Structure 1
Amino acid sequence: MRRPLVLVGFSYLLTLAAAVYLGAENSYLLFWCCLALFAATAAMKKTRIVSVFPAAFFTAAVAFALFAGYSRAVVEPPRSLDGADATVEGAVCELPYSQNGRWYYVVSLDSVSVSGAPQRFKIRLSSQNELNVEPYSRIRCGVHFFRPQGGEGYSSESYYESRGIRMFAYLYEYEPVTVSPPESKPPYYYALLLRRGMISSVDSMLPAEESGLIRGMLLGDKTALPAETTENFRTAGVSHLLSVSGLHMATVAQLLLLLFGVLRIRKKKSAPIAGAGIFCFMAVTGFVPSVVRSGIMCLLCLAAPLASRRADPLNSLGTAALLLCLPNPYAAADVGLLLSFSATLGLILFAGPIQRRLNARLDRFRPFRPIVRGVNGILGTSFAAIAATLPVMLLSFKSVSLIAPLSNLLMLVPASLMIAVSAVGAVIGLFAPQSFLLLPFALVSGILAKYLLACAHFLAGIPCASVSAAYGYLTLWLAGSVLLFAFALYRGRKLAVTAGFLSAVLLLTGIASDKAVSQGRTRIAVLDVGTGLSVAVSKNGHTEVFGCGGYNSNAVTGYLRGRNIGALDGLCLLTQNRDEAVNSAELHRQFSIDDFSAPAGSRYDGFALETAAGCKSVSWQENPLSDRMWRNVEIQEAGCGASRAVRIRVQNLYLLLLPVGAEVSLLPQSWCSPDFLITDMPPAETSGLRPTCTVLSMDLQDLCKLSPQGGKHTLWTGGFGTIVLESKEDRTLTVGREP
């Protein structure tokens, strides 16, 4: 076996990724299956001689066993506190941040006032008001525990576990909170101070929008990044730029080596210093798994010349996977790590061959050779990374960007330049804040940031820029494409072009067949917007949105783009809430809207007026009751105090949309027994209604405050995904959930 670390490292990481997806119970069963396969392959002479299969099955068995054991011994005990109230004490071990009007703190607990409960673990604590804390300040307070929700990837709890966070908790504001200075200052304390200083330096250089992007790309701090920007980058297929990983680490390493070259320091002397600089950068970015992976690879590459050895990228990648996942098996749940790992693997295996093939076909004019080869290099890198990360994107983000090659071509080089320039500027700002020395770095990085933001916004707005994985044909297309390219590689590379053509035909056929099958169906999606109400009703390629509640328009925008919806037939605001008006304006900036309606009191809101200004038809609803037909769907609206309720009839199915602030007593009597009640109001406020099923559109924190509703059919969003009701022409109804 030429590269044992490659086989063991790759097998270990892939097995842990599968274990995260399948869960601890299934992992325990699969441990015995892999152990049996190891014994069988070790007993057979042919497979024993090759040794690949026994080694792979043994590694998989070890990975499944460690994951199952770690889950039961370390992860599951703190989850017994779900729903419990307690007084806790611990140290704030990360920088606090603010989001959606709340403050968040990562606290390493060492005391929990619940008998028999684990005492030492990390939580994410949220509070309405900012606490006067610094890194490693001691805090004592009363909290309510609940299980993690939200996050990134296919398992929210596992994602936060990859960061070491076992539980969420919110602060009881009415109880006293005691904050005391740090009892100790470990080395990471100074890394946090450096991170805070660099964030402050970037903020002082540029306006909020540009500094938020630079903070996200340079330091991995996405707390100041608008949700719209994150969604634009994801739709355009360049979300990897917002995860600090190989590109960022390579840029930092090149900057350090360039500096040492200018100072005429020899390679053998500069390598250890550059390694120390890379380790500091890993600490400043928080030692997240994707950063640690790329950092380990950089350190191994720097160390190879010192030992008079040539660095092997595949061995370095396998070693990094082992070092990351051995202490914490849940590191494989970090989407940034999986994207970083798969993209790096794709670059190592495919980027070079793709670039050489493009050079052979396109590099024919000597004067343009540098430009052509540069473009081919970017295209080769993009295609290799996209192909390798496609399975992770489908599982994690449930979408595929069809314009990712173009996005990378336009944005990859400017992003690298911006990271390098802003890094130098941020370091200078630490020692000379508000100095004229910062001016050129602020100017260049600001221009590049504006370009990247504008580029992502434009590309994300292209029709069919991203396709949702909710479409079943995408899975078939992916499986078919893998088989086609595998066959092409087996029979000879000349068939690769044919395989690519057939793959494109397969995708187009899937899109066309899905549109044909969905004709006549009415789809009602209760979007997972947090605590708020937003419902999208679609039929035959047309969509209306009722309500723009929630913390931002990100969930609505993501859903519409994932369904390839570029325009809305109508947008109806249900409340006079300022946040709903703001969200409607954000939505209108990205989608054209034909008809806009809102409660009469919203006509004085500037954001509601901004939305109305670009619509073909505007209605400020003053009538107590209105009725209209939309594509054979009956839509009735009724004024209920400051808010408006909507009743939708699809065939013989009645749905009642009841936003917060609506007065149930003002509803028409015939509306009080709907088939589905969709609301963001607590059940106690809708007790006068008699729905067959209730859908609660709330975040998990608000859901946890509700008392159990015994004997009632209740569904909820709660950060777990969108609730979808689909009515077919044969009067059958399907109810499901989409992540």
Structure 2
Amino acid sequence: SLSLSFLLSHLYFDLWFFADRRLTEEYEIEATVTDITYAKSYGGVFTVKTEPIGDAPLSRYRLRVRADTDTASLSLGDHIRFRAKIRSLGDADGEVSNLSLYAGGYSGYVTIDNYTTLFKDNSYPGRRLSLLRFGVQDYLEKVGGEGSPLLAALLLGDRSDFSGTVKLDFQRIGISHLLAVSGMHLAVLSAFLHRLLLLFGVGKKFRVGITSLFALFYMALTGFSPSVLRAGIMLLLASLLFLFAGTSDSLTSLSVSVFVICLFTPYAVFDLSLLLSALATLGILIAPKPKEEAKHPIRRLLLSSVIAVFLSFFAVSATLAITVFVFGRVSLLSAFTTLIFGFLVEVFMILGVLSLPFGYFLPTEVPLSFLSDLILRLAGVFSDLPSVYIAADFPLTKILTVILTVAFLLFLVLKIRHRKSAIALLLILFLSVFVSAGISSCLAVSEERVDYRSDGESEECIFVTSDGEVATLLTAGGDSGTVSAYLTERHITEIDSLIFTSYPYRAAFFLRSVTSAVKIRSVTFPIPRTNEERFLLHTVEEILSEARVECRTTAPDATLTVGDTNLRLLSGDGFTLVTPKTKIAYFSRSAEADSTATRAALLGAKTIVFGLSGRKTEKTDSFNPQRTSASLILLTKNSVSVSEGDTRVFLARGGRLLNQPTKARLDR
């Protein structure tokens, strides 16, 4: 299905995804606004569908636009004109990933300083759907109480009211797909509607017809997202087969639905939600089903539980290759939590749908708030368990994943006599993927090492891994880019201790960002000395409390322990690290060069680092290498890789290492 759509739409691909190569000059572009990310008085980001540009054939592109001008009056359906040069999607300022832009059918990226509104189209279908969507959201807030954010996420895919911590919790326990509107949500709602109509005695053909109309409405309400579209087309095809042929074929419906989507929107092959949805559905369809139903209630319950486990196992197995190769992380609890939270979410969604007609008459916000709180609390409890979310981008894990995927496909296409043995083999391969990932992750953090990383401008970090524990020391405030890059490089998914040696003014922004991306157990600050530091600490404590992270303060010259490494913070804006193998001394440029603590820190230090944080003094004469036993001295603004056994003195400046600098160079 995917291969055929590739062949039929190859020309389409070329014309859509290389707009910046076809149109290399600046053009005057007329376009219609089809989506708005945000539109404020100071600027905005939105999506447009262009009219043909210049004399180029088939040049009706979908562009992502960043406007550095007043966009507060912008609305869906507006026809606008602007002048710009189309740039590559790689220039989109890192707002979203390139893969997401490709999956959305974007052809290029433009930035504009001004635009002209030609006219407003109040009859634009997208505007009416948007108004309907906002109306449903407002109604959900009224009838859902405290459960309305989760209800909006499950029914409409709106996760804007969720904190980064909630999203991280769902990611760590392998149920992020529950927060993204997909075919599962449409299936739950359609099945509930079908049973409700059956309860009222509606005929079978009428039930099928009404359910099909509901599927069309729900696809439009959710913006025709690929995964919902796949499920909707499957349901419509199954309905047509039943109405006109009296039969159904789920595998054929799945294949045709994916083919139709990829044929008319070829960029959908980049949409991970579509691939995950289709593969998970495929896994569920080929999972073994019992030939006979149990008559005894207890046996029926046990049989249903076994079937649910098999369905979860096959669904996770079918999508494991994408999880490992694309995301590089796996949750050890995914198969288990999918069962538990799948049931809770289904109950919550049905209760939410029932609240729509009865919310004004019955106190539906009470059970909705209770269930929402239960789901979020359970997700937090499972997420806080150690090592539940591990790296999977290891060679052995990838090889085993490929073998499992091939075996899974063979199970699909071959007629196997001994199905129980085949299923046992799939289960062994499935477990071996997680075992190999777990062992490799443990080995990755068991290595004793200290790493220095810097972006040369605003961020400077020292990473310590010792006896299975991971600590990050921040000596200069910045964004979380350096931290994220290092954790990905080292296959680390959790930080045991995040330690600030001072109070950078961007600490609150940094923590809000990093706690949404990685699990942190504790954060440590020095005891505040000024009112500004006390205010910043209070702000930080609120952020960390929401993220369920312990906040600590420590006195100057106190010793902290990370595995087998002792860390001592210095009052002069520095610290020493004493590992079983070496001693490292770090000083900022504002460190007190002649203090007693500084002189004590120099004694026995094998490596001395002068960091970029602090700009009060440029003194280096007190750190003459002849007065210390140090074998390596770094004055650096960039990340530098060094070998511990090197006995020469280096000076790093601008990323260049100068071998054995003269005394004059060192002073300068």
Task: Answer whether TM exceeds 0.5 for this pair.
Answer: yes
Aligned-partner Cα distance in 1 for 2:195–2:487: 41
Counterpart of 1:391?
Answer: 321
The Cα of 1:634 is off from its aligned counterpart by 2.5
> Which of 436, 450, 453 is the aligned partner of 2:360?
436
Counterpart amino acid of 1:198?
A: V
Structure 1 residue matching 2:386: 3-state secondary structure: coil
**Contact map agreement 1:231 1:554 (CA 8 A) in 2:** no
The equivalent of 1:195 in structure 2 is 133
Describe the shift of the 1:668–1:93 C-alpha distance in structure 2 as closer, same or farther (beyond 3 A).
Answer: farther
Structure 1 position 85, deviation (Å): 7.2
Given the superposition, is the C-alpha separation of residues 409 and 532 from structure 1 closer, same or farther in structure 2, using an over 3 Å criterion? farther
| The one of 340, 344, 354 aligned to 1:410 | 340
Matches within 5 A, 1:477-626: 477-481=400-404, 493-494=420-421, 496-497=423-424, 500-501=427-428, 504=431, 507-508=434-435, 511-512=438-439, 515-516=442-443, 519-520=446-447, 522=449, 524=451, 536-547=463-474, 549-550=478-479, 563-565=492-494, 567-568=496-497, 570-572=499-501, 575-577=504-506, 579-580=508-509, 582-583=511-512, 586=515, 591-593=520-522, 595-597=524-526, 601-605=532-536, 606-609=538-541, 614-615=550-551, 618-619=554-555, 623-626=571-574
**What secondary structure is seen at the aligned counterpart in 1 of 2:653?**
coil
Q: How is 1:118-157 mapped onto 2 (pairs within 5 angstroms)?
A: 120-126=60-66, 131-140=72-81, 146-148=87-89, 156-157=97-98
- Contact kept? 1:655, 1:674, Cα under 8 Å: no
Letter in 1 for 2:285: I
Residues 229 and 453 in structure 1, CA contact (< 8 A), matched pair in contact too: yes
Q: Is the 8 A contact 1:658 1:677 kept in 2?
A: no
Q: 1:217 to 1:274 in 2, by over 3 A?
A: same
Task: Please list the CA deviations of residues 623-651 of structure 1 after superposition, one character each: whole Å capped at 9, or x if unmatched.
Answer: 5542311534635242669xxxxxxxxx9
CA shift at 1:192, angstroms?
Answer: 2.2
Is 1:241 aligned to residue 171 of structure 2?
A: no
Residue segments in structure 2 that go unaligned for 5+ positions in a row: 557-568, 592-604, 622-632, 642-651, 658-668
- Indicate the residue corresponding to 1:39 in structure 2: none
Q: 2:403 aligned with 1:463, yes or no?
A: no
Give the superposition deviation at 1:395.
2.4
Task: Mark the CA change 1:268 to 1:89 in structure 2 (over 3 Å): closer, same or farther.
Answer: same
Match for residue 311 of structure 1? 248
Deviation by residue 1:475-514 (Cα, 9 ceiling, x = unmatched): 1332455578899968663464466457646754664466
* Structure with bigger gyration radius: 2
Secondary structure of the residue that 2:149 maps to in structure 1?
A: helix
User: For the Cα contact (< 8 Å) 1:218–1:248, is it kept in 2?
Assistant: yes
Q: What is the rounded CA distance, in whole Å, between the counterparts of 1:418 and 1:275 in structure 2?
A: 23
CA displacement at 1:535 relative to structure 2: 6.8
Q: How does 1:713-732 map to 2 (within 5 A)?
A: none
More deviation, 465-474/515-524: 515-524
Contact conserved, 2:459 with 2:482, CA < 8 A, in 1? no
% identical aligned pairs: 19
> What corresponds to 1:627 in structure 2?
575
What are the equivalent positions in structure 2 for 1:211-222 lying under 5 Å apart?
Answer: 211-222=148-159
Please tell me whether residue 638 in structure 1 is matched to residue 588 in structure 2: yes
Amino acid at match of 2:130: L
Question: Which consecutive residues of structure 1, in runs of 5 or more, have no partner in the other structure?
Answer: 1-8, 16-58, 430-434, 642-650, 679-688, 695-739
Change (3 A) 1:272 1:615: closer
Q: What secondary structure sits across from 1:165 in the alignment?
A: coil
Counterpart contact for 2:172–2:383, Cα < 8 Å: yes
Q: Which residue is 2:109 aligned to?
A: 168
| TM score, norm. by length of structure 1 | 0.67
Conservation of the 8 A alpha-carbon contact between 1:467 and 1:563: yes
Tell me the residue number matched to 1:644: none
Which structure has more helix as a fraction of its residues? 1
How has the CA–CA distance of structure 1 residues 581 and 127 changed in structure 2, closer, same or farther, with 3 Å as cutoff?
A: same
1:269 has 2:192 as partner = no
CA contact (8 A) 1:232 1:460 kept: yes
Residue from 682, 690, 711 that aligns with 2:653: 690
3-state SS, counterpart of residue 45 of structure 2 = strand
Deviation of 1:460 after TM superposition, in Å, equals 1.8
TM-score (norm: length of structure 2): 0.74
Aligned to 1:636, what secondary structure does the other structure show?
strand
Deviation at 1:519, TM superposition (A): 5.0
In 2, are the aligned partners of 1:110 and 1:119 still within 8 Å (CA)? yes
- Quote the offset at 1:671 in angstroms: 5.8
The 1:376–1:526 alpha-carbon spacing in structure 2 relative to 1, beyond 3 Å, is farther
Q: CA deviation at 1:98?
A: 8.0
Q: 1:276 to 1:564 in 2, by over 3 A?
A: same
Q: Is the 8 A contact 2:16 2:61 kept in 1?
A: no
